[in-house]
Amino acid sequence: MHHQGAAGTPPARKLGYLTTPQSHVESIINWNKKRYNLEIKPEWLMHSPSVHPAILSVLRVYSPPGSKILVQTPTYNGFFSDIRQVGCKAEESPLKVVNGKFQMDFEDLERRIGPDTNTLILCNPQNPTGNVWSKQDLMTLGEICLKRRVLVLADEIHCDFVLKGQTYTPFATLPDEAIVRNSVTFKSASKSFNLAAMKCAYMFCSNADHVAKIKQWGHKEDINTLGMVAHRAAYNEGADWFDQLLPYIEGNHDFVTKYFAANIPAIKVYKPQGTYLSWIDISAVQQKVGATQMAAEMSKKTGTTVTPEVAMERWFLDNAKIQLNNGSGYGMAGAGHMRMNIGTSRKTLEAALNSLAGALRNT
What stretches of the chain adopt beta strand conformation (E)?
45-48, 68-73, 89-94, 96-98, 101-103, 117-123, 151-155, 183-187, 201-204, 268-270, 277-281, 325-326, 337-341
Distance in angstroms (rounded) separating the CA atoms of residues 126 and 111: 22
The whole-number pLDDT of residue 1 equals 40
Distance in angstroms (rounded) separating the CA atoms of residues 305 and 327: 15
CATH top-level class for 22-237? alpha beta
The whole-number pLDDT of residue 217 equals 85
In the three-class reduction of DSSP (H, G, I as helix; E, B as strand; rest coil), residue 352 is classed as helix
The whole-number pLDDT of residue 341 equals 97
- Taking the alpha carbons at both ends of the chain, their separation in whole angstroms is 70
pLDDT digits (tens, 9 = 90+) for 299-338: 999 999 999 999 999 999 999 999 999 999 999 999 999 9
User: Which amino acid type is present at position 19?
Assistant: T
Whether the model clears a pTM of 0.85, i.e. scores above it, the answer is yes
Q: What is the DSSP letter of 274?
A: B
Distance in angstroms (rounded) separating the CA atoms of residues 164 and 246: 9
Q: Where are the domains of the chain?
A: 22-237, 240-361
Fold of 240-361: Aspartate Aminotransferase, domain 1 (3.90.1150)
Distance in angstroms (rounded) separating the CA atoms of residues 348 and 312: 21
pLDDT digits (tens, 9 = 90+) for 64-79: 999 999 999 999 999 9
pLDDT digits (tens, 9 = 90+) for 128-179: 999 999 999 999 999 999 999 999 999 999 999 999 999 999 999 999 999 9
Give 325's strand partners: 339
The whole-number pLDDT of residue 18 equals 73
Average pLDDT score over the chain: 94
The whole-number pLDDT of residue 2 equals 43
Distance in angstroms (rounded) separating the CA atoms of residues 101 and 206: 33
Least confident of 5-14, 265-274, 277-286: 5-14
